[in-house]
């Protein structure tokens, strides 16, 4: 599924089952809530906290998908083409950071999952 197809799928679902989009401000609050749920899982899985009884340590993918869902809702209702916006972000980061990270000794000292 492309980003455009994802935006269209969210819009189709909202129009079929959701009655209407929540207000932009409500969706911003919902996005913040969903990001907090991702943070909770990350702090327990990769940080120093432990999972509480009943918490699902395998819920990260679902929570990330929830973040994407709300982000696409906000994009749809504010007229943002996320495909074009994401392309522009990649270009901006490449222009700005193409050498900066390669020359960062802090990044060279630690291997990460992207290597």
pTM of the complete model beyond 0.75: yes
According to the model, what pLDDT value does residue 53 have? 94
Q: Choose among 58, 32, 31, 30: nearest CA to 44.
A: 58
Mean pLDDT across the stretch 107-113? Answer: 69
The vertex-10 CA angle with 41 and 57, nearest 5°, equals 15
Q: What is the pLDDT of residues 67-102, one digit of tens each?
A: 999 999 999 999 999 999 999 999 999 999 888 888
Domains, the chain, ranges and CATH?
A: 3-80 (1.10.287.1080)
pLDDT band at residue 40 using 50, 70 and 90 as cut-offs: very high
Spatial distance between the Cα atoms of 52 and 79, rounded to a whole number of angstroms = 40
Can you tell me whether residue 35 is helix, strand or coil?
Answer: helix
């Amino acid at each position: 599924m492309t980003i455009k197809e994802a935006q269209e799928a969210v819009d189709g679902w909202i129009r079929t089952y959701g009655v209407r989009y929540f207000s932009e401000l409500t969706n911003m609050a919902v996005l913040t809530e969903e990001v907090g749920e991702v943070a909770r899982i990350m702090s327990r899985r990769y940080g120093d906290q432990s999972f509480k009884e009943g918490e699902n340590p395998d819920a990260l993918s679902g929570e990330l998908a929830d973040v994407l869902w709300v982000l696409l809702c906000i994009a749809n209702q504010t007229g943002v083409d996320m495909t074009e916006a994401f392309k522009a972000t990649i270009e901006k980061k490449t222009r700005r950071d193409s050498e900066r990270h390669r020359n960062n000794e802090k990044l060279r000292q630690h291997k990460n999952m992207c290597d």
